[in-house]
Amino acid sequence: MKDIIIAIDGFSSTGKSTLAKQLAQRLGYTYIDSGAMYRAITLYFMRHDIALNNQEEVLLALDHIELHFDENGICLNKEPVDAAIRTMEVSAKVSEVSALEAVRKFAVAQQQRMGVHKKMVMDGRDIGTIVFPEAELKIYLTADPEVRTQRRYDELKIKSPEISRQEVQANLAHRDHLDSTRAFDPLRKADDARELNNSGLSMQEQLDIAEDWALQLIQQS
């Protein structure tokens, strides 16, 4: 048996976190949602009105941020913020914050420390390319645009019933653009990643495929 790192990358609302969480559970691995880290940093910046174009202010703010995960999700300076980071306000700002070089360096260094003992599934945008370029299994998850819009809409409607499908679609398109065109660590498929389009797959089917891939590597002696 071999301990491995599994990197799952893709655009938002492709179902990365659902797959990553279930896969980690099946394998007895730790799951880390790297997007939650960027969201928690964004929440801190919004609460403290940090000017994103002021490098010194950004660095100082990062010095005051401590992130960790417990059984309920991410904590920002010990405060559980898993619900607070999933609002439209944070979603609208997070691509801009996560495009900053200082923010990325801060988050990537922590993510790499979390993975030193392997047995980890981490999802995000740059996990297979920048955070763990040596990851044994890299999955690049995709889904058709209409499917992604519907998923995000269903998710957000519960908390914000007034939200429209058009707003959700526009927010996704805007974030896709920012995430894939930013200067530092943009989203791209690693050359050695396996692409999985889950538009026509049930959760069970996509989990079975990913688990098969993982077990082939874990059981290699």
Nearest residue (CB) to ligand DC, 151 versus 175: 175
Q: Which stretch binds ligand DC (CB under 6 A): 63-71, 93-101, 192-200, 206-214?
A: 93-101
Asked if 20 and 33 count as a contact pair (C-beta separation under 8 A), the reply is yes
Binding of ligand DC by 171 (CB under 6 A): no
If one asks whether residue 39 binds ligand DC (CB under 6 A), the answer comes out as: yes
Residue of 59, 159, 41 whose CA lies nearest to 96:
41
Q: Quick check: 12 binds ligand DC (CB under 6 A)?
A: yes
By CB under 6 A, tell whether 124 contacts ligand DC: yes
By CB under 6 A, residue 34 contacts ligand DC: yes
Distance CA 149, CA 196 (A): 18
Of the listed pieces 32-40, 61-69, 142-150, 155-163, which binds ligand DC according to CB under 6 A? Answer: 32-40
Count Cβ atoms within 10 A of the Cβ of residue 212 and give its class: 0-12 exposed, 13-18 middle, 19 or more buried: exposed
Please name the residues in contact with 141: beta carbons below 8 A apart, sequence gap of 6 or more: 8, 9, 10, 14, 15, 16, 19, 196, 197, 198
Query: Which residue's C-beta sits nearest to ligand DC?
Result: 124
In whole angstroms, how close is the CB of 56 to ligand DC at the nearest point? Answer: 22
